[in-house]
Structure 1
């Protein structure tokens, strides 16, 4: 938690768009979701909220995010425009964290639509920052890393008590607020 707070104090560390050399597209794709607190927090929060929601949401929420992530990545790589990408990424941290903290469980289609919208924005950011050559390997890398981060959230959600999970959701939302003012 101290690392998340420390990252939130440095604006250049807050957003995952440092630019890369892309000499190894697959590795760069894997590293991209870890290069900024915004992507890291949101992707773990998807897994946490999925465990709070339970049932089919445990697999459907991460899958929805990853499929939308891939779609957004293709959009970003192709140069299509998607307005409000950074505000959507920030909103994903705040809302996913809040939903987890409050143990909100709307109807599954509503949850999936929200998670997919956030996945689209995150994917667009990944794709827009991707390499001109090797985009397929880069996309495979960021999809794999994102799925692993969802898995981390799911693992934490399954291993921890409800109270701790909800605390982590609240901490995620607070970190999102810190990023908003960084």
Structure 2
């Protein structure tokens, strides 16, 4: 069986196993280590970070030629925008401000990112950064509400950066579109909860 099919099956199985309790367990621990592990403890956050990395790795920058390979700065623009806006959302959450419809919005980001990957949607860098920024504010807001301490915030930004980097590696594999379909299915499952 191809690796891409196995990956898709595993992600789909994870979506079926998703429950609200798995999505946001209690967070008694705080600090850098707790923050770094936080994006791994909820299926919604885990899949969103991986999906953002996968999708950003599959983008090309429109220029004088139809699509050219992006420069290092352009390759980092989308993950950097995601992390910056995640930090802004986390700061708002730490101050007690909650985005309305947060849980549904987070699940919707997982669904939409999966669809974008599965359908190989490409956007100009500015549009991709804006879209990922909105998605990241939601995820950051949830993190900030759950772990408002500064050391925890540094931890989940590091953990999220590592997941984005892992997603970028996955995005270069031939079966990334199958993974996108599985992520979309997981997002649909999360919305149904």
Q: Same fold (TM over 0.5)?
A: yes
Total equivalences in the alignment: 174
Q: Is the 8 A contact 1:13 1:37 kept in 2?
A: no
Structure 2 unaligned segments of length 5 or more: list them: 1-8, 61-69
Give the whole-Å Cα distance in 2 for the aligned partners of 1:51 and 1:38: 20
Question: Which residue number corresponds to residue 125 of structure 1?
Answer: 142
Structure 1 unaligned segments of length 5 or more: list them: none
1:27-176 equivalent positions in 2, closer than 5 A: 27-54=33-60, 55=70, 58-131=75-148, 135-158=149-172, 160-161=173-174, 164-176=175-187
Q: Is the 8 A contact 2:87 2:137 kept in 1?
A: yes
Change (3 A) 1:3 1:91: closer
Give the whole-Å Cα distance in 2 for the aligned partners of 1:10 and 1:89: 14
Aligned-residue RMSD, C-alpha: 1.7
CA deviations on 1:79-129 (whole Å, 9 max, x unpaired) are 123212112211111111111111111222111111000100000000001
Using CA pairs under 8 Å that are at least 6 residues apart, name the structure with larger relative contact order, 1 or 2: 2
Change (3 A) 1:52 1:3: closer
Between stretches 49-58 and 148-157, larger displacement belongs to: 49-58
